[in-house]
Amino acid sequence: MAKINFGGVLENVVTREEFPLDKAKEVLKNDTLAVIGYGVQGPGQALNLKDNGFNVIVGQRKGSGSWQKALDDGWVEGKDLFEIEEACEKGTILLNLLSDAGQIAAWPVMKKHLTEGKALYFSHGFGITFSDQTGIIPPDNIDVILVAPKGSGTSLRRLFLQNKGINSSYAIYQDATGRAKDRVLAIGVGIGSGYLFETDFKREVYSDLTGERGVLMGAIAGIMEAQYNLLRSRGHSPSEAFNETVEELTQSLMPLVAENGMDWMYANCSTTAQRGALDWKNRFRDAVKPVFEELYDSVASGNEARITIEANRKPDYREKLAKELEEIHNSEMWTTGAQVRKLRPENK
Give, for all 348 residues of the chain, the pLDDT tens digit: 778 888 888 888 899 899 999 999 999 999 999 999 999 899 999 999 999 999 999 999 998 999 999 999 999 999 999 999 999 999 999 999 999 999 999 999 999 999 999 999 999 999 999 999 999 999 999 999 999 999 889 999 999 999 998 999 999 999 999 999 999 999 999 999 989 999 999 999 999 999 999 999 999 999 999 999 999 999 999 999 999 999 999 999 999 999 999 999 999 999 999 999 999 999 999 999 999 999 999 999 999 999 999 999 999 999 999 999 999 999 999 999 999 999 988 886
Q: Are residues 273 and 331 in the same domain?
A: yes
Q: Are residues 194 and 215 in the same domain?
A: no
Domain stop point among 199, 227, 258: 199
Overall number of domains in the chain: 2
Q: Residue 301: inside a domain, yes or no? A: yes
Q: Are residues 193 and 223 in the same domain?
A: no
Report the C-alpha gap between 48 and 77 in whole angstroms.
19
Q: Residue 250: inside a domain, yes or no? A: yes
Q: Are residues 148 and 235 in the same domain?
A: no
For the beta carbon of residue 58, count every other beta carbon within 10 angstroms.
Answer: 30
Is residue 238 within 8 A of residue 225, CB to CB? The reply is no
Q: Report pTM.
A: 0.91
The CATH code of the domain that includes 315 is 1.10.1040.10
Q: Are residues 172 and 272 in the same domain?
A: no
Domain stop point among 175, 199, 223: 199
Q: Are residues 94 and 223 in the same domain?
A: no
Q: Are residues 26 and 170 in the same domain?
A: yes
Can you say whether residue 8 is alpha, beta or left, with left for phi > 0 and alpha for psi between -120 and 50 degrees? left
Q: Are residues 89 and 165 in the same domain?
A: yes
For the beta carbon of residue 206, count every other beta carbon within 10 angstroms.
Answer: 18
Report the C-alpha gap between 27 and 13 in whole angstroms.
19
Q: Residue 205: inside a domain, yes or no? A: no
Q: Look up the domain containing 273 and give its range.
A: 211-347
Half-sphere exposure of 246 (CA within 13 A, CB side): 21
DSSP code per residue over 221-290:
HHHHHHHHHHHHHTT--HHHHHIIIIIHIIIIIHHHHHHH-HHHHHHTS-HHHHHHHHHHHHHHHHHHHH
Domain stop point among 164, 199, 234: 199
236 is catalytic: no
Residue 46's closest CA among 61, 55, 169? 55
Give SS3 for 165: coil
Q: Are residues 19 and 146 in the same domain?
A: yes
Query: Could you tell me which residues come within 8 angstroms of residue 251 by beta carbon, excluding any fewer than 6 positions away?
Result: 344
For the beta carbon of residue 339, count every other beta carbon within 10 angstroms.
Answer: 12
Q: Are residues 81 and 134 in the same domain?
A: yes
Q: Residue 204: inside a domain, yes or no? A: no
Query: Which listed residue (113, 124, 236, 329) is catalytic?
Result: 124
Q: Are residues 242 and 220 in the same domain?
A: yes
The CATH code of the domain that includes 123 is 3.40.50.720
Q: Residue 223: inside a domain, yes or no? A: yes
Residue 81's closest CA among 26, 72, 279, 222? 72
